[in-house]
Amino acid sequence: MGNGQPCRMSGAASKGGLLPAPAPLPLRMAREALALLRRLVDLVLLLLLAAMVLLVLAQVIFRYGFNHSIAGADEAATFAQIWMVLLGAGYAMRQRLHVSIELVIERLLERLARLLLVPVAGLCLWFLWVVLQGGLLLMQVGAWQTSPALQLPMNIPYAMLPVGAAYFALEAALAFGAAILGREKVATGGGVRVD
């Protein structure tokens, strides 16, 4: 204080100027891991979009400009699109861009609305669990098959089902959990709304 050292206070954040207590180490590590995962997903989505656009553009140029088709370009673009869509579903959940019908929830008391979100979240997560399990089974079948043009084992394209479902489930659990625990409004009003 008088020795030139900055004053460090601990305690809850308040309007009185106290600094918030630092988050526990496991929570900080989880937040950093989530931020890293989200940056990685963003980068992968950008790379998939760029690959898809470049592959289709090259195919069009070669097909109509040089009367020659690039073997595997259509297939690679299709795989990139599938991966982009399935991974992008989790990104859309993070940004609250999925269609939601909030007519009932907006008319309920806050507590009842939060209570109603519990079975909704449970059904969504159950569906994503079924997709993840089905994707794992499909990967087992795909290990015996190869794609026609690229000769890739089909478990590589099929891997996006469990990966996409797992990422979507993570983002859904975070979104629903925040609303159920009262950290976010129940009806966000974001994204596309139908009511």
- Neighbouring residues of 15: CB distance < 8 A, sequence distance ≥ 6: none
What does pLDDT average to in each consecutive run of 10 residues of the chain (195 residues)? Answer: 48 57 83 94 96 93 88 91 93 86 80 90 96 94 88 91 95 91 72 44
- For position 193, what pLDDT does the model report? 42
Exposure letters 112-133 (e unless 16+ CB within 10 A, then b): ebbeebeeebeebbeebeebbe
Q: Which two tokens stand for residue 127?
A: 């569906």
What's the whole-model pTM score? 0.78
C-alpha 110/C-alpha 105 separation (Å) is 8
